[in-house]
Structure 1
Amino acid sequence: EMTEQLSMEREQSLNDDMPTLCMLIGPSGAGKSTWIANNVPDYEHYSWDALRHDWYDPDDYGRAYSMSCDDSTFMSRAQAEFMTIIKSGKNLVIDNTNLGNKRRRFYVVEAIKRGYKLQAVLFPISSSMAVNRQGSRGDKKVPMEAVIRQYMSMQYPSYGDYDEIVVCGDNLSA
């Protein structure tokens, strides 16, 4: 009941002038980056993959990923980067897998503090499609086991967690 009341109060305060935080939710290979290019190309883009390339290795994603895992400061640096963007008040898309509620919470809390509208964009694809798409990518290789693990760990947002929830079909458009 409390969540529903907070949700109703929040809904009444929404307006078109508010910036939007767009939270993409889906496993590797679901089409998140393609969706960004087709739907929100002008949004500020926050991506751990992009940060890994920027900070560690612009050409070899596997090496950049490994280096980020070995760097105990990666997460704090990545969060600082997010805070810089969110404080700007610009529309923002979070281009990570964002599979768990706990993983998403930090971004959602900071966005609410700064008066953002919250939009979740879900990419509900089959595990076989995620594995097939991942295998055909040229930009990075994620092991099949990792894609399956991501698929199995996806937590869908609950009613009231976001101001809008978009569910993408196979055509990757909203």
Structure 2
Amino acid sequence: MDPLVVPVPSLVLLIGPSGSGKSTWAARHFGPYEVVSSDRCRAMIADSEADQSVTPAAFELVRFIAARRLEAGRLAVVDATNVHAAARRHNLDLAAACGVPAVAIVLDLPVERMLANNAGRAGRVVDDEVVRRQRRDLDEALGVLGSEGYAAVHVLDEATIDAVTIERVQEP
């Protein structure tokens, strides 16, 4: 499989339901300071990744950190479900405001694998119905991602998710 080309700087948007392995995958392919996690930002505010009451503030923090990284000419990888168009639009607008491309990386796995991953989490486990709903939302998103304005959309499935590598290309 050819490497996924990621321009630097750029905003990389991870897209996938809870349990799809976004955080684990991101940790294998990107540096710890490059990944801006909504769960981590939620915990920074409320001492818990599970405290949904601070979600709006957590996403303000995600976008703030991502913007500062992009303005510094760095890579910013947004680790959140991003299965809803409105969430993706906020990130696309951020990339445009910073004058950098946005790249979508979709983790498109069967719902059974996501449910198993979710059940095996050490810590916050999401309700199965939430995972199923996010999977349906992802199915809808897959039909429109190509028209949303990304420089590239990469869809990883069970056959490719573990084999893929990242190639960083410095933008002028």
TM-score of Structure 1 vs Structure 2, range by shorter chain: 0.7 to 0.9
TM-aligned CA deviation for residue 53 of structure 1: 1.2
Task: Find the counterpart in structure 2 of residue 165 from structure 1.
Answer: 153
Question: CA, structure 1 residues 43+172, in 2 after alignment: closer, same or farther (shift >3 Å)?
Answer: farther
Q: Which runs of 5+ in 1 are unaligned?
A: 1-15
Q: Which runs of 5+ in 2 are unaligned?
A: 1-5, 165-172
Task: Find the counterpart in structure 1 of residue 12 from structure 2.
Answer: 22
Please give the root-mean-square deviation of Cα atoms over the aligned residues, in Å: 2.4
Q: Which structure's CA Rg is the greater one?
A: 1
1:22-41 aligned at under 5 Å gives the runs 22-41=12-31
Question: CA, structure 1 residues 152+84, in 2 after alignment: closer, same or farther (shift >3 Å)?
Answer: same
Which of 36, 57, 61 aligns to 2:49? It is: 61
TM-aligned CA deviation for residue 172 of structure 1: 2.8
Which of 72, 76, 92 aligns to 1:88? It is: 72
Which of 139, 146, 149 aligns to 2:133? It is: 149
Distance 1:17 1:27 in 2: 25
Distance 2:7 2:106 in 1: 24
1:72-87 aligned at under 5 Å gives the runs 73-87=57-71
Distance 2:148 2:129 in 1: 32
Distance 1:20 1:75 in 2: 18
Distance 2:103 2:17 in 1: 18
Deviations 1:48-97 (A, max 9, x none): 1001111111xx533xx24425xx75554554444333333310100000
Letter in 1 for 2:161: L
Given that residues 123 and 167 in structure 1 are in contact (C-alpha distance below 8 angstroms), is that contact kept between their aligned partners in structure 2? yes
Aligned residues: 153
Deviates more, 1:32-41 or 1:80-89: 80-89
Given that residues 34 and 172 in structure 1 are in contact (C-alpha distance below 8 angstroms), is that contact kept between their aligned partners in structure 2? no
**TM-score when scaled to structure 2?**
0.76
Deviates more, 1:37-46 or 1:92-101: 37-46
Given that residues 121 and 166 in structure 1 are in contact (C-alpha distance below 8 angstroms), is that contact kept between their aligned partners in structure 2? yes
